């Protein structure tokens, strides 16, 4: 292969070169699947881009071949790209707009901060009925819990337990568990500053023994290891994490010995559906399978968080990931968490599939695992 070097002395010029659709690095590979190596380094106030041409896997790759059909641009912290290498697979469809895979790699690299900004923005747009939950918790805490979860928790004794929730939103579910099942105390972790602020305020107004901590869940402080009797991850949460083995090992570390991990979330098959406005969505056949079950690339959504505020808006990018049951089950195995209960259900808890609710399609799953 032949190595080519392209030097830019200006960060702004580099950003425009890489992200601008009119860049001179034009796509030229037709509809075949090719790949090449692009190295970006920073040296003495200049950016050096090395790219290669040649034959890889019996395919010829032209110098500077790159995909520039995309619909979203973010302000990437370019300093973080120093000395990073990208093995880029490029799939160019002349008639389809899509985000370049280099840009998706950048989204993946920065997804915790991007999601933090997007959730803070979404919560700021949420109506007061979503935020002001004190009265509703006092009237009936069970309204914040699903029937499937209640059917399992009603048979357990939480007296004296310290319960926790990862990705706790504004604390509604874990406070409901604390109140309904008379646990001793509750702790919630979430990446959104504004949700955590409101959760702590709600707990104070209700005089609950509960506290809420803003954190990237991959970076929860080690002082919380071996702290919790029960940990919950609720519906729609694992899609915000790229590595379930890593996430579940954190759960293991946070649990006390014999502690329980309750996971209730969307069935992996739901990641195969396209949503309205998304590439491949068919209004006449909305439940057509569009995405690969084994998809590795993240989803990037800039249409807002409809379930929270019932509106579509041009939002900061939400970056999410689909997971197979292999990833879920193997992640629990890797974390030394033993499955006690596993169930699948057809309830439309994600609220995205009303036409499938109660039908013969699995939409959710429930797992109760234990730290031995």
* SS3 of the chain: CEEEEEEECCHHHHHHHHHCCCCCCCCCCCCCEEEEEEEEEEECCEEEEEEEEEEECCEEECCCCCCCCCCCCCCCCHHHHCCEEEEEEEECCCCCCCCCHHHHHHHHHCHHHHHHHHHHHHHHHCCHHHHCCHHHHHHCHHHHCCHHHHHHHCCCCCECCEEEEECCCCCHHHHHHHHHHCECEEEEEECCHHHHHHHHHHHHHHCCCEEEEECCHHHCCHHHCCCEEEEEECCCCHHHCCCHHHHHHHHHHHEEEEEEEEEEEECHHHHHECCCCCCCCCCCCCCCECCCCCCCCCEEECCCCHHHHCCCCCCCCEEECCCCHHHHHHHHHHCCEEEEEEEEECCCCCCCCHHHCCCCCCCEEEEEEEEC
Integer Cα distance of 111 and 74 in angstroms: 12
Please name the residue that has the structure tokens 């075949």: 32
Read off the pLDDT band of 6 (50, 70, 90). Answer: very low
pLDDT surpassing 90 at residue 66 = no
Query: What mean pLDDT, rounded, does the chain reach?
Result: 79
pLDDT at 150: 98
Between CA 213 and CA 216, with CA 214 as vertex, the angle to 5 degrees is 120
pLDDT at 214: 98
What average pLDDT does range 46-51 have in this prediction?
Answer: 46
Residue 145, token pair as written in the block: 């819990």
Read off the pLDDT band of 228 (50, 70, 90). Answer: very high
pLDDT at 183: 98
CA distances 226 to 199, 259, 288, Å, are 23, 9, 44
Please name the residue that has the structure tokens 């505020």: 309
Residue with the larger pLDDT of the pair 29 and 358:
358
pLDDT surpassing 60 at residue 311 = yes
pLDDT at 202: 98
pLDDT surpassing 90 at residue 243 = yes
Between CA 154 and CA 158, with CA 156 as vertex, the angle to 5 degrees is 110
pLDDT surpassing 60 at residue 51 = no
Read off the pLDDT band of 54 (50, 70, 90). Answer: very low
pLDDT surpassing 70 at residue 71 = no
pLDDT at 8: 43
In CATH terms, the fold of domain 115-371 is Rossmann fold (3.40.50)
Write the pLDDT tens digit of every residue in 283-307: 999 999 999 999 988 898 888 888 8
CATH 3.40.50.150 in the chain is located at 115-371
Integer Cα distance of 32 and 96 in angstroms: 14
Percent of the chain at pLDDT > 70 equals 71
Give the global pTM: 0.76
Percent of the chain at pLDDT > 90 equals 60
| Beta-carbon count within 10 A of 82 CB | 11
pLDDT at 295: 93
Write the pLDDT tens digit of every residue in 96-121: 233 344 455 567 777 898 899 999 99
């Amino acid at each position: 292969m032949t190595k080519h070097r392209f030097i830019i002395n200006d960060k702004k010029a580099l950003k425009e070169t890489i992200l601008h659709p009119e860049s001179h690095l034009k796509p030229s590979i037709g509809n075949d699947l090719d790949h090449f190596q692009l190295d970006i380094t920073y040296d003495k106030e200049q950016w050096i881009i090395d790219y290669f041409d040649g034959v890889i896997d019996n395919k010829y790759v032209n110098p500077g071949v790159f995909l520039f059909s995309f619909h979203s641009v973010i302000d990437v912290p370019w300093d973080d790209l120093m000395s990073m290498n990208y093995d880029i697979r490029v799939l160019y469809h002349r008639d389809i707009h899509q985000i370049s895979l280099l840009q998706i790699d950048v989204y993946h690299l920065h997804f915790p901060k991007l999601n933090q900004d997007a959730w803070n923005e979404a919560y700021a747009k949420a109506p007061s009925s979503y935020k002001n939950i004190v009265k509703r918790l006092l009237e009936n805490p069970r309204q914040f819990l699903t029937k499937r979860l209640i059917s399992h928790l009603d048979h357990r004794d939480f007296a004296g337990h310290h319960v926790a929730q990862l990705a706790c939103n504004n604390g509604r579910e874990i406070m409901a568990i604390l109140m309904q099942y008379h646990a001793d105390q509750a702790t919630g972790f979430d990446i959104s500053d504004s949700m955590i602020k409101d959760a702590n305020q709600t707990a104070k107004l209700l005089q609950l023994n509960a506290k809420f901590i803003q954190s990237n869940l991959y970076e929860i402080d080690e002082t919380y290891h071996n702290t919790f009797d029960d940990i919950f991850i609720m519906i729609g949460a694992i899609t915000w994490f790229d590595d379930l083995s890593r996430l579940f090992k954190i759960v293991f570390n946070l649990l006390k010995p014999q502690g329980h991990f309750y996971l209730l979330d969307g069935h992996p098959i739901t990641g195969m559906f396209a949503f309205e406005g998304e590439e491949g969505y068919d209004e006449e056949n909305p439940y057509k399978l569009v995405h690969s079950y084994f998809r590795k690339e993240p989803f990037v959504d800039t249409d807002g968080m409809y379930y929270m505020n019932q509106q579509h808006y041009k939002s900061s990018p939400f970056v999410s990931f689909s997971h197979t049951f292999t990833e879920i089950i193997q992640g629990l195995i890797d974390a030394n968490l033993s499955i006690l209960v596993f169930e699948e259900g057809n309830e439309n808890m994600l609220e995205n599939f009303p036409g499938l609710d109660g039908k013969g399609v699995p939409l959710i799953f429930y797992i109760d695992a234990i730290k031995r």
